[in-house]
A = this chain, B = another copy of it.
Amino acid sequence: MFKVLDRARELEKHGAYVYHLELGNPRQRPLAAVIKTAIAELRAQNVGYTSSAGLPTLRTAICKRFNGLGASWVRDANVVVSPANLIISQFLDLVCDPDDRVVLFTPAFPTYWAATAHIGLDVAAVPLVAENGHLLREEDVETALSARPRAIIVNSANNPTGAVYSEAALRHLATRCQEEGVWLLSDETYADLCYDTDFFSLVHVNLPNVVVMSSFSKVLSIPGYRTGYAIGDEDVIERLALSNSTLISCLPIFTQAGCAAGLFELDSYTLQLRQRFGSVCRKIASRINESGILKCVVSGAGYYLFIDISKTGMDDMTFCNRLLEDYHTAVTPGRSFGPAYTNYIRIAFCGEIDDVKEGVERIINMAKGEVMRVNCWPAFGTV
């Protein structure tokens, strides 16, 4: 994904205007408190080290939030702050030995693939198919466990499909993992961006084999703060903090203080995001599914659509490269989410809305083999 971004930047350097639909790089204005607090800490010269486990006030704020959501078992010692991407590698490194098997429900976030490959783990992919809305079912859990993995990563609300798994399916997964002695990492980065449904967090099951992780990047529109967290058993959390100490010492005070300030206004902020993204999603998905050549499942959360391009006769790399070079539109090839997805692309619709609309139009034009058209959204209206 970052290679696509680099190539797009190159085109831009040569004067091209590129439509960015490749990264989940939200352009929504962050909460004023998140920016102001970081600035105030910088002004106060708070540019030193802090605890490897995270800024104490942020750990406490996360703890209180989950207590408020009903997970009363969560204490500060159950929370570690770390870049969310890094937590994936840290978790796998902690619970797995090289050549151990990890199950990914696919399509799956690229970092899961990169992190497992990096550590030398064997990946068993359990596909969650479009015909079932990319949802997790009890039979998928049994398929996953039959691969005899050391760990499973589950990601609801999902990137790239936007699928939100049911409480029953998630509880079943966690309980069965516990029974079979399998570690479970629940990546809940998009949990607070469910459009209509309430999200069920695996924090509520409180099992020692379950680590829940999330990020402030998406729910506060601040990927550049590079801050996330994990919640779990005290022992696992302490080992993750030790890993922080080895790898990165700690995170900046000012970004963490900004996230703590944002947490207190998170629900009102994400309510706006959910309404906005839900509306955009439905409109774009309709446009794509009405194209006659592309199709997608309508997301239930987040700001991605995973689009089936089979009917174009092109594979994902051909499609993405031509789209970027000829239509100046950047999207992510399906294979980033698993080797089986060469007939898919992912688009992110969290950018400037006019760019997103134009980008989607170009994708459809390209799929149909049509020349570029501009301003062709008369029926689209304001989203």
| A→B interface (CB under 8 Å) | 2, 5-6, 9, 23, 25-27, 29-30, 35, 38-39, 42-43, 45-53, 56, 83, 85-86, 89, 93, 98, 111, 114-115, 118, 221-226, 243, 245-255
Contact = CB atoms under 8 A, between A and B. Distances in A.
Contacts of A248: 83, 85-86, 226, 248
A255 B114 CA distance: 26
A51 to B, nearest CB: 6
Closest 9 pairs between A and B when the two form their complex, measured CB to CB: A47-B224, A114-B246, A25-B48, A47-B222, A2-B52, A224-B252, A2-B245, A25-B49, A83-B248
Contacts of A46: 224
Residue from A26, A49, A253 having most chain B Cβ neighbours under 10 A: A49
B246 A226 contact: no
Given A35-B43, A47-B225, A98-B98, A250 B30 contact: no
A49 B29 contact: no
Nearest to A35: B42
B39 A43 contact: yes
Contacts of A245: 2, 114
Nearest to A82: B248
Contact of A251 (B23, B25, B226): B226
B50 A224 contact: yes
Contacts of A115: 246-247
Contacts of A225: 47, 252
5 contacts: A5-B51, A39-B43, A47-B224, A115-B247, A226-B252
Nearest to A13: B56
Contacts of A114: 245-246
Contacts of A246: 85, 89, 111, 114-115, 118
A26 B43 CA distance: 16
Contacts of A42: 35, 38-39, 42
Given A23-B49, A223-B249, A252-B255, 13 more contacts: A2-B249, A5-B49, A5-B51, A25-B48, A38-B42, A42-B42, A46-B224, A47-B223, A47-B224, A85-B248, A98-B98, A226-B249, A226-B250
